[in-house]
Structure 1
Amino acid sequence: MAENIEKSLCNHLKTSKFSIQLYESTLPTNEALLLSYVRFIKDEKICQELLFARNLETDTKGETVFKTLEKFCDEKIPLKNIISAATDGAPAITGCQKGFISYLKNKIPDVLVVHCVIYRQQLVARNLSERLFQSLQHVIRAVNKIRNNSLNDRLFNQLCVDNDEDFNRLIFRTEVRWLSKGNCLTRFYNLFDSVIEFLENKDTELRENLITSKNDIAYLTDHYTLLNDMNLQLQGDDLNLIKTKKCRRCFRSQTALTQEEYRQT
C-alpha cells in the first residue's frame, strides 16, 4: 500500500511543479533522519504530502542532505520540477557556501527560498527584554533544580499530590522545539504555589526571585501560549498565505490585550 501511494504521488510530481521542505532531526538512538514534504496543486486544490523519510548514514551536512534528495529525484521525479524550498534556518540548510540551498541553486538557479513562518515566530520569540529574560531564567533554574535531581523530583511529585494539584511534574524546556517554552511555562505557572513551597528550604534566593517575577512569568505564560496556539493553526493541508495572515492578525490582537493587562499590573 505504501509503495502504491508513493508511486501515485511521484507520477503526479513528474508532470507538475512543486515546493519542498526538508527537516533533519536526530532520533534518541542518535540516528539522523531526513524528512521531505512537498506541496503542489492537484485538481485546483493545494495538497501537502510526505515525499520520503531517509536515514543519513554519516553526517548531516548540507551536501549530504542535497545528495540524498538528488538521489531520490534521479530515481523517482525530475529535480528541476522544484520551484521553491522552505527552510528552518539551520546552517546546514541555508549556508551560502556549503548549505543545502547553495547546492540546490547550482542545479536550479531560479528556485525560490523562503523561511518557514513557524520558525520565524520562534526567532522573534527569542528577543525578550532584559527583565523578561531574567524572569524566564528564574523559571528554567527552578525547573532544572527540581527535575535534574531524582530525589527532588520525587519529593516535588509527592508535594503536588498532597496539595491536590492537577499535575505533579514540571516540564523541561528545550530550544529546538517551538512548543517547549509555552508548555513549560504553562505547567510551571499552574504549579507555581507548590514550587514556591518546595523551594522554601531548598533555595531561598531563587524562591524570592520567583515571587518577585510572578507577574512577568504570568505574562510570558500567556504570550507563549498564544504563540503556540497560532503556530498550531499555521499547520495543515488547507492553508494558504491569506489564511496564515488571518492567524497572525488574530495573534497580534490577542497579544495587544495581553500586553495591556501586563502593563496594568
Structure 2
Amino acid sequence: MEKWTASYLFTEVNGKPVCLVCMQHVSVFKEYNIRRHCETQHGEKYDSLQGQLRQEKINELLVGLKKQQSVFTRSREVSDAAVKSSYIIANEIALASKSYYEGEFIKTCMLKAAELVCPEKRQAFANISLTRNTIAERISELSTDLDSQLKHKVKSFLAFSVAIDENTDNTDVAQLAIFIRGVDDTLAVTEEFLELVPMMDTTTAEDIFSSLVCALDRVGVDWSRAVSLATDGAPSMILKKAGVVTKFREKVQAANGGDAFWTFHCILHQEASCCKSLKMDHVIEVVVRTVNFIRARGLNHRQFDCLLSDNKITHGLPYHTEVRWLSRGAVLKRFFELRAEIGQFMETKGKPVMELQSLEWLQDLAFMVDITEHLNNLNKMLQGRKKVVTQYYDSIHAFKLKLTLWETQQGLSFKVRNCACTPSRA
C-alpha cells in the first residue's frame, strides 16, 4: 500500500482504498482501478510533483485525512455519550415513577447549570434527547431488554419460587403483582418483578391462576423446578379445594413427579396479626376517634397546629390508616407525646377526652406505644430485597426471645403499670 500511496496518492481506510485528494473510494481493490482514477482525475495537477515535493504533498494529505477522521471519531463519541445519558436518565425517571415530561425539565436544568459550570460543554448537554416520546421509547426498550435478560436467566434456574399479591389500584382495577426468585448452579440468587397483570373482570381463583400460569409460561419456566408459592392470604388464594395455591401445587407436582412443594402466606406480616390480638381496643378506639376529630375537619386541624406552634412544637398529628397498619405505631407514639396538648384542645372544643385523666388508661397507652414500636422495627427488618427465609426466621426468633426476656423481668405488664406513664423502651 505504501507503493500505491507514493505512486497514485491512495491509502487504505478500513480495508478500502481511499484517494487522498478527493476522499473517494474505489470499488475494486486493484492496481489498475487505482491507477486509472489517479491519471484521469488528478494526473494533470499532481504528475508534475516528483521527489521531495511529491512526498511533502503526500504527508500533507495524510495529515488532513487523520484530522478528518478524528473529527468523525469525536462526533461519534459525543453521540454515543448522549444516547447513553438519555437511557440513564430515562431509567431514573422510570424508577422514580415520574412523568415522561420530566425529561425536558431535567434537560433545561442541565443546560442552565452547564452555562455556569462548563460553558464549553453546553452543546454536549444539548445533544441529549429527553423529549417525552424519547423517554417513553427508552423506557420501553429498557423494559424489553430486562424481560429478555430474565427469560435467559430463567433457563439456568435449578429451583425457583413465586410470590403473588392481588390488590386494587385507585381506578378500582384489580392488579396481580407477580415476583419470581431463582437460584442457579453457582448459588447466585436472582429476584425480579415478573409482571403486573390487570384483572379487568372477576378475580376468582381460576382467573388469578390463569393469569399466573400465562405470565410464567411467557418467560419459559421449567415447572418441575418450582419449589414454593407465597400469597397474600386472601380466601381465593388459600382455599383447600379450589384456591390458587391448590391449583398451583397440582400443576407443579404433575411436572415434578409429586415432589414436596411449600406454600406460604403473609410470611412478612404475622406481626400485624399479633398486634391485632392484643385486645387493646379500648385504647385504639379512643385514639382513632380523637385523631379523626382533629384531622378530618380543616378548621380543627388548623387550630390544633396553631396550638402546637404556640407551644413551639414542630411535629403534628398524623392520620391513622387501617389498611397501612404500620401507621398505628406512629399515631400512638405521637398521640402519647402530645397528650397534654390534645387534652387541652379537646377541652376547648367541648369534647373532653376523659380517658386522658385515667392513670390506668395512660399506662395501657404507654404499653401500646412500646409494643407497636417494637413490631414496626421488626417489620422494617423483614423488608427489602435479596433476603432468604433464614434471615426472616432469625429476625422473628430473636424478637420472640426479646419478648420472653421482657416478660421475665418481673412481668412486662407490671413493669409498664409502674413506669409513671412513660414508655419503657425495653
Q: TM-score, normalised by structure 2?
A: 0.56
1:39 has 2:181 as partner: yes
Q: How far off its partner does 1:262 sit?
A: 1.3
State the partner residue of 1:139.
287
The unaligned stretches of length 5 or more in structure 2 are: 1-141, 254-259, 420-426
Secondary structure of the corresponding residue to residue 117 of structure 1: coil
Q: How far off its partner does 1:254 sit?
A: 4.4
Give me the CA root mean square deviation. Answer: 2.4
Q: How far off its partner does 1:18 sit?
A: 0.7
Structure 1 residues 253 and 159: alpha-carbon distance in aligned structure 2, compared to 1, 3 A threshold: farther
Structure 1 or 2: larger strand share? 1
Structure 1 residues 76 and 239: alpha-carbon distance in aligned structure 2, compared to 1, 3 A threshold: closer
2:346 to 199, 215, 221: 199
Structure 1 residues 71 and 201: alpha-carbon distance in aligned structure 2, compared to 1, 3 A threshold: same
State the partner residue of 2:230.
86
Moved more, 225-234 or 184-193: 184-193
Secondary structure of the corresponding residue to residue 378 of structure 2: helix
The unaligned stretches of length 5 or more in structure 1 are: none
Q: How far off its partner does 1:220 sit?
A: 0.9
* Structure 2 counterparts to residues 68-83 of structure 1, below 5 A: 68-78=211-221, 80=223, 81-83=225-227
State the partner residue of 2:399.
251
Q: How far off its partner does 1:6 sit?
A: 1.8
1:14 has 2:155 as partner: yes
Q: Give the letter aligned to residue 288 of structure 2.
A: I
Cα contact 1:19–1:82 (8 A) shared by 2: yes
State the partner residue of 1:126.
276
Structure 1 residues 127 and 12: alpha-carbon distance in aligned structure 2, compared to 1, 3 A threshold: same
State the partner residue of 2:250.
106
Q: Which has the higher contact order (CA 8 A, sep 6+)?
A: 1
What is the rounded CA distance, in whole Å, between the counterparts of 1:75 and 1:253 in structure 2?
A: 45
State the partner residue of 1:49.
192
Structure 1 residues 52 and 238: alpha-carbon distance in aligned structure 2, compared to 1, 3 A threshold: same
Name the count of aligned residue pairs: 261
Cα contact 1:140–1:173 (8 A) shared by 2: no
Runs (4 or more) in structure 1 with deviation over 6 Å come to none
Q: Give the letter aligned to residue 3 of structure 1.
A: T
State the partner residue of 1:115.
265
Q: Give the letter aligned to residue 127 of structure 1.
A: S
Cα contact 1:88–1:119 (8 A) shared by 2: no
Structure 1 residues 61 and 167: alpha-carbon distance in aligned structure 2, compared to 1, 3 A threshold: farther
What is the rounded CA distance, in whole Å, between the counterparts of 1:249 and 1:113 in structure 2?
A: 20
Cα contact 1:139–1:210 (8 A) shared by 2: no
Q: Give the letter aligned to residue 22 of structure 1.
A: I
Deviations 1:122-174 (A, max 9, x none): 11221113xx2211211111112222223222222222222222312322231
Identity rate, percent = 26
State the partner residue of 1:215.
363
Structure 1 residues 104 and 211: alpha-carbon distance in aligned structure 2, compared to 1, 3 A threshold: farther
Structure of greater Rg? 2
Structure 1 residues 203 and 15: alpha-carbon distance in aligned structure 2, compared to 1, 3 A threshold: farther
State the partner residue of 1:187.
334
